[in-house]
Structure formats: structure tokens, C-alpha cells
Amino acid sequence: MASSSSYNSPCAACKFLRRKCMPGCIFAPYFPPEEPQKFANVHKIFGASNVTKLLNDIMPHQREDAVNSLAYEAEARVRDPVYGCVGAISFLQRQVDRLQKELDAANADLIRYACNEVPSVLPHLSSIQPITPPQNHTRRFGDIDGGGGGFYQSPPSYNPYPYANFQWNPSSSGGNFGGGGGGQGNI
């Protein structure tokens, strides 16, 4: 008998509003009788008629997310009437910023520790002399023998504007390109 009374018990919204819960109640799927405080907070902040309008205006597959969002905002507004969710978000953002600074400091300490360990772990690398560039030799792109060593190469002669010398003379007959010559270059 207890199971049939719990099956017929009104949803939290209808119980709070002291009305009969009809079979097609829009609140019933989202405000179960076990969570009366959820609807109480939503009603206090948004009002039952506004929530009803909202749920009727949105698609049925979006209603659960909307109710969860309203319930979260309402609970946050009850706890912090001035800031609500924004207070919680800014608290979490400050916490993320603090943790990011701690992570950056830990990474810097790790790099500093790793750099201090390199000379003691590999003492033979400190005796290697760096390669100095040759004084009067530039390596060309076709050199295979290396003739002077190093990685220094002269840049190729590359003209970024290959048609910089192009001249168009509209007064010449036949529309010739290249500036000169008669009327043989008709296009």
C-alpha cells in the first residue's frame, strides 16, 4: 500500500503550490516529491508562472537542462543573494589563476633543477668547444665538399618581384608588352 501512495504522491511543485498534480503536469518529471527544496528555491527566485512559461516555450528535450540550470541559479541566489552564480564563478576563476601560478612556479623550479643537474651528470660535455664560423668564406648552396665548414650560407639571389622590369606602353600600337618594338605583339 505504501508503494501505491508514493506513486500517486504529487510532485514537489504541486505539493508546494498545494494543488492537485494532474497526469500531464509539466513540473512532475523535473521536480520529484523527494526534492521539495529544489522547487522551493526555484519558486522563490523565479516564480512558478515564469517557470511554467519557460518550460512550455522550449523543446521537450531541452527542459531537463533548463530546470537543472534554474535550480542551480536559484540555489546560488539563495546562498548569495547579491552575486549568485557569478560569485561562484569568480571564486573558481581566482582559484584557477592561483593554481596556474603555482603550476608555473613548480615548472620553473623543475627547469632550474634540471639545468643545475646537467653539468654534474655530464661533465665531459663542458670540454667541447663551440664551432666558430670561418672568417672569409661563405658557403654556397651547391657546395658539396664543405670548403670551410660551418652552417653559414649566403642567401640565394632571389628576386621577389620577377616582373619588376615589366613596362606597359599603352600608346604603342597593338598593345605590345615589354615596351618597345612595333605592332607585332597583338594579343
pLDDT digits (tens, 9 = 90+) for 55-77: 999 999 999 999 999 999 999 99
The verdict on 67 and 97 lying in the same domain is no
User: Do 24 and 73 share a structural domain?
Assistant: yes
Q: Where do runs of H (alpha helix) occur along the chain?
A: 2-7, 12-17, 36-46, 48-57, 63-79, 85-121
Number of domains in the chain: 2
Backbone angles phi, psi at 115, to 5 degrees: -70, -35
Domain range for 102 is 85-122
State residue 153 phi and psi, 5-degree precision: -130, 145
| Whether residues 35 and 55 fall in one domain | yes
Is the pLDDT assigned to residue 176 strictly greater than 90? no
* Residue 63, domain member (yes or no): yes
Mean confidence (pLDDT) of the chain? 75
* Average pLDDT of span 145-157: 49
- Does pLDDT of 138 surpass 60? no
Band the pLDDT of 169: cuts 50, 70, 90.
Answer: low
> Most confidently modeled of 35-49, 104-118, 153-167?
35-49
pLDDT at 1: 38
Pair (90, 75) in one structural domain = no
Cell of 73: 541559479
User: How much is the pLDDT for 7?
Assistant: 54
* Same domain as 73, residue 17: yes
Q: Is residue 100 part of a domain?
A: yes
Summarised one tens digit per residue, pLDDT across range 15-54 is 999 999 998 899 999 999 999 999 999 999 999 999 999 9
Same domain membership, residue 75 and residue 7:
yes
Q: Are residue 73 and residue 89 in the same domain, yes or no? A: no
Q: Which residues contact 81 (CB under 8 A, 6 or more apart)?
A: none
Q: What is the pLDDT, as a whole number, of residue 116? A: 84
Top-ranked range on mean pLDDT: pick from 3-7, 60-64, 175-179:
60-64
Q: Work out whether the CA dihedral 27, 28, 31, 35 comes out positive or negative.
A: positive
pTM of the model: 0.50
Classify residue 158: in a domain, yes or no.
no
**Contact (CB, 8 A) for 22 and 8:** no
Q: Are residues 56 and 24 in the same domain?
A: yes
Evaluate whether residue 136 is within a structural domain: no
